[in-house]
């Protein structure tokens, strides 16, 4: 019998379905992407990762990023962000008007090489230049550290290695960092170890966590991070995204599962769950497969069965 | 930033797939049930809910309980239990040699009436008699309180009502109580409220928790209960069982998801995860549908992808 860690009263969700979600699904027509973005902008969510500016041959799912963004009805209370892989993408994102931009590096060398044919250290050098480019254009730079809780090729990733990456990008001017559980290898223990390792060395950098539900632990991980005072989380409407390493397995945690749990715990998100469930139903329609969202399937706990 | 609740170092899992799981699936042949029980007995799990002794017209899935149990290869280190609805079932369970027997009552009147056409209070009167019957035969009696975290017909269930039920069954001699999240309405907040309410009034009665993953919260709920010092949990191999209130939705939390998370947190269960995954694969084969188990689908986090 032990005491209770005090939990935050407000959590900031970044909805990543339109970018991270759709990028890992079969291509969806431009019109559908715009409809999904607009539906999400009406949910009350305060941050949306809208698109990525990547080479269309590498990621055909995002080939129409400029058009999607131009046609989207942007809500005034929402911060929209874009992901870029390099300076060419950064220039496109800036030209499109984005002022919050994300770049990615993998904590494990093997994963980074598989993604971009570079070592982690080489990518960090590139990112230093990207941060300067973004800052000189008045945008902020977030560094997403993929495979932060484990690598599908290498296995465990030492939290000290991740903390060292954070040291480097903070020194290079990163405005914020995010830790991606790229293939669902995080557990409450790994979350505690990583957050503690990073906070010990960089107590001031804003931290966002990105969990996958591949092995069922997403909300347990989120609860652990809440107890550690972390208040920023990615989530993907409907659980859009899948897991590229395990066909048929879940990827991104579903936004409605996160919001449903947080609201029942008295933690505010600003999101209207009913509006979010409408967006999740649209997401399911757009990708044409059943999405791995328990709250979409069963409804919120407040939805009663007639006697 | 807050401190960490000390977690238990050992957890006792009761595997309920053969009974609670299969009772909520399409009927499986007797031979398959015996194979599943035997596979589970080889995993190192220390407790298995093997069968229920119910009227075959009410629950045809358990019509062959006597034969399943007679043919099973029982492992010496495993405690096997059976569920019974009434004195006729109790007599059958005792005759079959069971010494750990479970009875059920729903915390919400509406759910109890839908199940057994009686109020909760009327069922509690019946249970008092059943406890006496079991004790006089040298068996222990566990009372499972269904809909403890919410009722699909009534909505929220007051923890004080559940605690009152516990007061009553403890006074009537119950050896242990279990709280069922029958339709997946529990969240970390509800777990904390219920466990606290019960412990405040009955600190000595052994408590077991039974979580469903219908809305994705099962492992977050389990983590919360661990922080409160609860060390006994039900789980169902492969997530066998479904959710009778929401077609296509998940029911029982998958044993391998529980074990996978606990082991990575350094918490012992005695279970061999590889053997458990073999049993989960068998369960999937027996019911002929994809079971909702992330660890079965993606493998444990230690299973690496070849570069």
pLDDT in tens, A183-207: 999 999 999 999 999 999 999 999 9
Q: Is A298 within 8 Å of B215 when comparing Cβ atoms?
A: yes
Flag whether residue A264 sits within 8 Å of chain B, measured between CB atoms: yes
Rounded to whole angstroms, how far apart are CA atoms A173 and A139?
12
Q: Is B227 within 8 Å of A301 when comparing Cβ atoms?
A: no
Scanning A192-231 for CB atoms below 8 A from B yields 192, 199, 213-220, 222-224, 227-229
Residue with tokens 């986090």: B301
Closest among A227, A235, A224, A154 to A190, alpha carbons compared: A224
pLDDT tens track for A84-130: 999 999 999 999 999 999 999 999 999 999 999 999 999 999 999 99
**Terminal C-alpha separation, chain A:** 38
Name the token pair of B278.
């073999």
pLDDT tens track for A37-81: 999 999 999 999 999 999 999 999 999 999 999 999 999 999 999
Query: Do the Cβ atoms of A134 and A99 come closer than 8 Å?
Result: no
Query: Residue B14 half-sphere exposure, CB side, CA atoms within 13 Å?
Result: 24
Architecture of the structural domain at B7-83+250-307: Alpha-Beta Barrel (3.20)
pLDDT at position B248 is 83
Phi then psi dihedrals of residue B39, to 5 deg: -65, -40
Name the token pair of B265.
């947190």
Query: Do the Cβ atoms of A191 and A224 come closer than 8 Å?
Result: yes
Neighbouring-strand partners of residue B210: B180, B234
Confidence of residue A1 (pLDDT cuts 50, 70, 90): very low
Name the token pair of A141.
């730079």
Query: Do the Cβ atoms of A302 and A263 come closer than 8 Å?
Result: no
Query: Do the Cβ atoms of B62 and B51 come closer than 8 Å?
Result: yes
Length of chain A: 307
Q: Where on the phi/psi map is residue A47: left (φ > 0), alpha (ψ -120 to 50), or beta?
A: beta
- Whole-number Cα distances in Å, B279 to B76, B81, B202, B288: 19, 19, 37, 14
pLDDT tens track for B270-294: 999 999 999 999 999 999 999 999 9
Flag whether residue A128 sits within 8 Å of chain B, measured between CB atoms: no
Q: Is A6 within 8 Å of B1 when comparing Cβ atoms?
A: no
CB atoms within 10 A of CB B183: 26
Closest among B162, B152, B149, B106 to B249, alpha carbons compared: B152
Please name the member of A184, A253, A295 whose beta carbon is closest to the beta carbon of B215: A295
Q: How many CB pairs under 8 A join A and B?
A: 173
Q: How many secondary structure helices (H) and strands (E) does chain B include?
A: 12, 8
Could you tell me where the beta strands, DSSP code E, fall in chain B? 12-15, 47-52, 79-83, 100-106, 140-146, 176-180, 207-210, 232-235
For CATH 3.20.20.70, the residue range(s) in chain B are 7-83+250-307, 99-235
A204 Cβ contact partners less than 8 Å away, ≥ 6 residues apart: none
Rounded to whole angstroms, how far apart are CA atoms A161 and A145?
11
Closest among A228, A242, A107, A113 to A161, alpha carbons compared: A107
Neighbouring-strand partners of residue A101: A82, A141
What letter would DSSP give residue B102?
E
Rounded to whole angstroms, how far apart are CA atoms B66 and B51?
8
- Whole-number Cα distances in Å, A163 to A102, A207, A253, B263, B284: 18, 12, 24, 25, 41
What letter would DSSP give residue A8?
P
pLDDT at position A2 is 43
Query: Do the Cβ atoms of A115 and A97 come closer than 8 Å?
Result: no
The torsion angle over the Cα atoms of residues A117, A122, A128 and A130, rounded to 10 degrees, is -20
Rounded to whole angstroms, how far apart are CA atoms A76 and A187?
36
- Whole-number Cα distances in Å, B116 to A41, A51, B110, B262: 47, 54, 10, 36
A299 SS3 class: coil
- Judge residue A159's burial from the number of C-beta atoms within 10 Å of its C-beta, 0-12 exposed, 13-18 middle, 19 or more buried: buried
Q: What angle do CA A48, A51, A53 make, to 5 degrees?
A: 145
Search chain B and give the residue with CA nearest A228.
B1
CATH of B99-235 given 3.40.50.1110, 3.30.1490.20, 3.20.20.70, 3.40.30.10:
3.20.20.70
Flag whether residue A297 sits within 8 Å of chain B, measured between CB atoms: yes
Give start and end residues of each alpha helix (H) in chain A: 22-23, 30-41, 65-71, 87-95, 109-116, 120-136, 159-171, 188-201, 218-227, 255-264, 273-287, 294-298
* Residues in chain B closer than 8 A to A249 (CB atoms): 294, 297-298
The torsion angle over the Cα atoms of residues B203, B205, B208 and B211, rounded to 10 degrees, is -60
CATH of A12-298 given 2.20.25.90, 1.20.1250.20, 3.20.20.70, 1.10.230.10:
3.20.20.70
Rounded to whole angstroms, how far apart are CA atoms A75 and A14?
14
A151 pLDDT exceeds 60? yes
Flag whether residue B152 sits within 8 Å of chain A, measured between CB atoms: yes
Neighbouring-strand partners of residue A151: A155
Flag whether residue A244 sits within 8 Å of chain B, measured between CB atoms: no
Name the token pair of A191.
């979350």
Confidence of residue A4 (pLDDT cuts 50, 70, 90): low
Flag whether residue B185 sits within 8 Å of chain A, measured between CB atoms: yes
pLDDT at position B1 is 38
| Catalytic annotation, pick one of A134, A139, A243, A286 | A243
ipTM value of the model? 0.97
Rounded to whole angstroms, how far apart are CA atoms B53 and B62?
7
The torsion angle over the Cα atoms of residues B61, B64, B67 and B68, rounded to 10 degrees, is 0
Low-confidence ranges of chain B (pLDDT < 70): 1-5
- Show contacts of B61-64: CB within 8 Å, 24+ apart: B61/B22, B61/B23, B61/B24, B61/B25, B61/B26, B61/B27, B61/B28, B62/B19, B62/B22, B62/B23, B64/B30, B64/B33
């Amino acid at each position: 019998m032990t005491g209770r860690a005090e939990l935050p009263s407000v959590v900031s969700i970044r909805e990543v379905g339109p970018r991270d979600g759709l990028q890992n699904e079969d291509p969806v027509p431009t019109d559908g992407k715009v409809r999904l973005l607009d539906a999400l902008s009406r949910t009350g969510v305060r941050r949306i990762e809208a698109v990525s500016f990547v080479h269309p041959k590498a990621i055909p799912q995002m080939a129409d990023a400029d058009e999607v963004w131009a046609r989207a009805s942007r809500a005034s209370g929402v911060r929209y962000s874009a992901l870029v892989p390099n300076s060419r993408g950064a220039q496109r994102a800036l030209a499109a008007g984005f002022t919050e931009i994300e770049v990615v590096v993998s904590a494990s060398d093997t994963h980074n090489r598989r993604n971009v044919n570079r070592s982690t250290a080489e990518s960090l050098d590139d990112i230093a230049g990207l941060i300067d480019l973004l800052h000189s254009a008045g945008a902020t730079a977030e560094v997403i550290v993929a495979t932060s809780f484990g690598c599908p090729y290498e296995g465990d990733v030492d939290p000290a290695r991740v903390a060292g990456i954070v040291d480097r990008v903070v020194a290079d001017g990163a405005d914020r960092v995010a830790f991606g559980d790229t293939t669902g290898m995080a557990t409450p223990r790994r979350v505690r170890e990583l957050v503690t390792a990073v906070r010990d060395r960089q107590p001031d950098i804003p931290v966002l966590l990105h969990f996958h539900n591949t092995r069922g632990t997403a909300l347990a991980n989120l609860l652990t991070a809440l107890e550690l005072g972390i208040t920023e989380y990615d989530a993907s409407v409907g659980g859009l995204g899948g897991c590229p390493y395990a066909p048929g397995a879940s990827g991104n945690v579903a936004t409605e599962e996160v919001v449903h749990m947080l609201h029942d715990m008295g933690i505010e998100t600003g999101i209207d769950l009913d509006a979010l469930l409408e967006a999740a139903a649209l997401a399911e329609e757009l990708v044409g497969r059943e999405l791995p969202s328990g709250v979409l399937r069963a409804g919120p706990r407040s939805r009663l069965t007639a006697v």
